[in-house]
């Protein structure tokens, strides 16, 4: 690992990342009879709103290229110049490439920028060149390279290896790299990613300085090394199980998975492909030609533009349309209400939902097969009790045949300005799959402070049989994750406790020092987790002691595999790893304390 001391040459960002790198639609009003006289006529009923159209143009921030488009590199460079360091800016872009071959390109990706091919398979769209994420904007430190994505492309890297030096909320999905993949920035500076799914990397994946990584249902030529926590499920070519040295957690398959919906072209028609559910999944979905699943024409989607009202979005949903959120920022005066089974809400270019007046941004009914994917929820300045709700309280229907999926849906409290939420994400529906999320109470940016962007709880799971694959939850004032449902499973968890606790008393949890990063409820009798890590960096009061990273009832069917806690540079310490088990951290050496199996 790199040295943990500050460097005066780095930008003056707050917090450890600088130091360690490491809504209902309007309905017809009832007729109200007048009472002034018998002759008074009843007012005419309010007309139902005109039906909204499906389909339409994708808007100015979706840039679509084909191999004959002139000036592609110049346009890519222009977007990158705007977005490279715009960490909390308002720009949002999707760069879409029609099937074909493109040569001599280097698509550098900045904040809120997504690049994707428009074929059914990644190999339909080949770039002889690179899709690059590096950290020059931050002096070689990649730990703040958030909110960008690459999907559904084949790459032939110019020098044989593509660089993808990212941190959280930067998925690499359905990609084919005909060469190697380097997950570190130039100079091998700090990095704090990341997530790969449904991808094939023909050569070697080199994490180098990456602190943690999760790879799911993919194929790789080889894997080079690991720092703290490298987790694989359903990955052909993955290294063997060896935690903690090297720190590899390897599962042969993923218990349940269903890949993220994606936009593609069938001739000149845009459609959205909906991959089918797999059980005991291993390897890519697209390796033998057309992927398995169904598709929907764009005419079945309301193509939303920034500025549209929540009432209009809800009208579209009530009409039976799905939602395609084009890049931009959407203010919501009421929750988006998803009440119909199999509804798709797909965001492009990090479309961002901001709930106003303390409302919840999205509420999903207890129905089958909802797919939420590819958008950011940004808390507003008035406290929201919740930001995202999957199922109402008490939801109990069996969704095992057709679960709801939450994929590349990210939640932020603060950073772009003051934001507050008591609980960020609540999962009540059974069998929900949370497949890659970053739920983040900001530790830097605007509107950041122990009470300024107060957010007590990150993710609360009440539903039974919920699976999380790639769960990143950080910096909450109390518990980051609480899991009350039965038979829950998590494959890969990354956490940092809130940096900005003012003192020990501020995090005192009854007689326990600090709130666990991941807590399993006392009544739970069955739960399992693989490859879970929690880090502390109490930079306001480095003397704070956190009793443990993980808390769970001691029962034979509540099991954990490969846990770690880390004190980052000695800024606070852990006494134990889980409950009262595991060695304490100590000193400033940033060495993990691990538990291989619990109980």
Return the biggest CA–CA distance within the chain.
Answer: 88
State the first-to-last Cα distance of the chain, in angstroms, to the nearest integer.
30
Structure tokens that stand for 580 in this block: 């009262």
Rounded Cα–Cα distance for residues 234 and 406 (Å): 19
* Catalytic-role residue among 151, 334, 389, 496: 496
**Which of 386-409 are b and which e, b meaning 16 or more Cβ less than 10 Å from the residue's Cβ?**
bbbbbbeeebeeebeebbbbbbbb
Q: Which residues contact 346 (CB under 8 A, 6 or more apart)?
A: 261, 263, 272, 301, 322, 323, 324, 325, 371, 373, 374, 375
- Closest listed residue to residue 224, CA positions, set 193, 180, 185: 180
Rounded Cα–Cα distance for residues 162 and 14 (Å): 30
- Closest listed residue to residue 487, CA positions, set 527, 523, 429: 527
Residue matched to tokens 């991808």: 199
Secondary structure element (H or E) that encloses residue 248, with its range: strand 248-251
User: HSE (CB half, 13 Å, CA atoms) of 196?
Assistant: 33
DSSP strand pairing (212-216 vs 229-233): parallel
Helical segments of 251-389, H only: 310-319
DSSP state of 72: H
Q: Which residues contact 452 (CB under 8 A, 6 or more apart)?
A: 414, 418
Active site residue 84: no
**Which of 189-228 are b and which e, b meaning 16 or more Cβ less than 10 Å from the residue's Cβ?**
bbbbbbbbbbbbbebbbbbbbbbbbbbbbbbbbebeebbb
Rounded Cα–Cα distance for residues 417 and 378 (Å): 10
Secondary structure element (H or E) that encloses residue 345, with its range: strand 344-355
Residue matched to tokens 């359905």: 174
DSSP strand pairing (277-281 vs 262-266): unpaired
CA-to-CA dists, residue 238 to 220, 242, 259, angstroms: 7, 11, 20
Residue matched to tokens 């890969």: 492
Q: Which residues contact 558 (CB under 8 A, 6 or more apart)?
A: 520, 524, 525, 526, 527, 528, 552, 599
CA-to-CA dists, residue 47 to 27, 302, 537, angstroms: 8, 21, 58
What is the phi/psi pair of residue 27, to 5°? Answer: -120, 165
C-alpha angle 306-309-310 in degrees, rounded to nearest 5: 110
Evaluate whether 328 touches 350 at the Cβ level (below 8 Å). no
List active site positions.
496
């Amino acid at each position: 690992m790199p040295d943990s001391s500050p460097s005066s040459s780095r930008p003056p960002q707050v917090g450890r990342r600088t130091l360690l790198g490491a809504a209902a639609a309007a309905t017809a009003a009832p007729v109200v009879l007048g009472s002034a006289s018998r002759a008074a006529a009843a007012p005419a009923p309010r007309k139902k709103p005109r039906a909204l159209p499906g389909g339409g143009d994708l808007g100015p921030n979706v840039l679509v290229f084909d191999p004959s488009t002139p000036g592609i590199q110049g346009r890519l460079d222009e977007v990158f110049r705007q977005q490279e360091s715009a960490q909390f800016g308002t720009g949002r872009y999707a760069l879409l490439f029609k099937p074909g071959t493109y040569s001599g390109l280097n698509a550098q990706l900045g904040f809120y920028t997504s690049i994707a091919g428009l074929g059914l398979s990644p190999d339909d769209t080949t770039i002889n060149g690179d899709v690059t994420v590096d950290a020059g904007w931050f002096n070689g430190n990649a730990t703040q390279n958030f909110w960008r994505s690459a999907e559904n492309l084949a790459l032939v890297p110019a020098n044989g290896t593509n660089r993808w030096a990212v941190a959280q909320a930067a998925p690499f999905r359905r990609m084919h790299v005909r060469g190697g993949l380097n997950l570190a920035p130039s100079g091998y500076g700090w990095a704090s990613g990341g997530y790969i799914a449904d991808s094939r990397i023909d050569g070697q994946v080199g994490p180098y300085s990456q602190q943690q990584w999760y790879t799911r249902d993919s194929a790789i030529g080889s894997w080079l090394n690991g720092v703290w926590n490298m987790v694989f499920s359903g990955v052909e070519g993955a290294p063997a199980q060896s935690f903690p040295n090297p720190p590899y957690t390897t599962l042969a398959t993923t218990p349940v998975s269903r890949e993220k919906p994606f936009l593609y072209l069938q001739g000149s028609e845009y459609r959205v492909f909906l991959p089918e559910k797999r059980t005991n999944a291993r390897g890519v979905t697209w390796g033998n030609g057309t992927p398995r699943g169904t598709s929907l024409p764009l005419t079945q989607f309301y193509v939303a533009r920034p500025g549209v009202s929540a009432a209009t979005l809800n009208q579209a949903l009530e009409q039976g349309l799905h939602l395609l959120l084009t890049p931009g920022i959407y203010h919501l005066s009421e929750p988006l209400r998803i009440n119909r089974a199999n509804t798709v809400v797909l965001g492009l270019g990090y479309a961002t939902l901001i709930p106003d007046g303390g409302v919840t941004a999205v509420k999903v009914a207890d129905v089958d097969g909802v797919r939420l994917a590819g958008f950011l929820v940004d808390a507003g300045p008035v406290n929201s009790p919740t930001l995202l709700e999957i199922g109402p309280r008490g939801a109990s229907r069996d969704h095992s045949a057709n679960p709801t999926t939450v994929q590349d849906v990210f939640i932020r409290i603060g950073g772009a300005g003051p934001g507050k939420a008591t609980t960020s994400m609540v999962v009540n529906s059974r069998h929900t799959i949370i497949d890659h999320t970053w739920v983040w109470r900001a530790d830097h940016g605007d509107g950041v402070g122990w009470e300024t962007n107060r957010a007590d709880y990150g993710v609360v799971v009440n539903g039974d049989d919920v699976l999380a694959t790639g769960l990143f939850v950080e910096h909450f004032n109390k518990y980051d994750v609480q899991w009350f449902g039965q038979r829950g499973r998590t494959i890969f968890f990354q956490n940092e406790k809130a940096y900005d606790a003012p003192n020990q008393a501020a995090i005192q949890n009854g007689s326990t020092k600090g709130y666990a990063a991941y807590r399993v409820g006392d009544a739970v009798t069955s739960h399992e987790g693989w490859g879970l890590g929690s880090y502390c960096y109490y930079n306001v009061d480095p003397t704070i002691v956190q009793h443990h990273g993980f808390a769970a009832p001691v029962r034979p069917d509540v099991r954990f595999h490969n846990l770690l806690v880390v004190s980052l540079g000695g800024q606070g310490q852990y006494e134990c790893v889980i409950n009262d088990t595991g060695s304490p951290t100590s000193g400033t050496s940033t060495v993990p304390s691990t538990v291989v199996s619990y109980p």
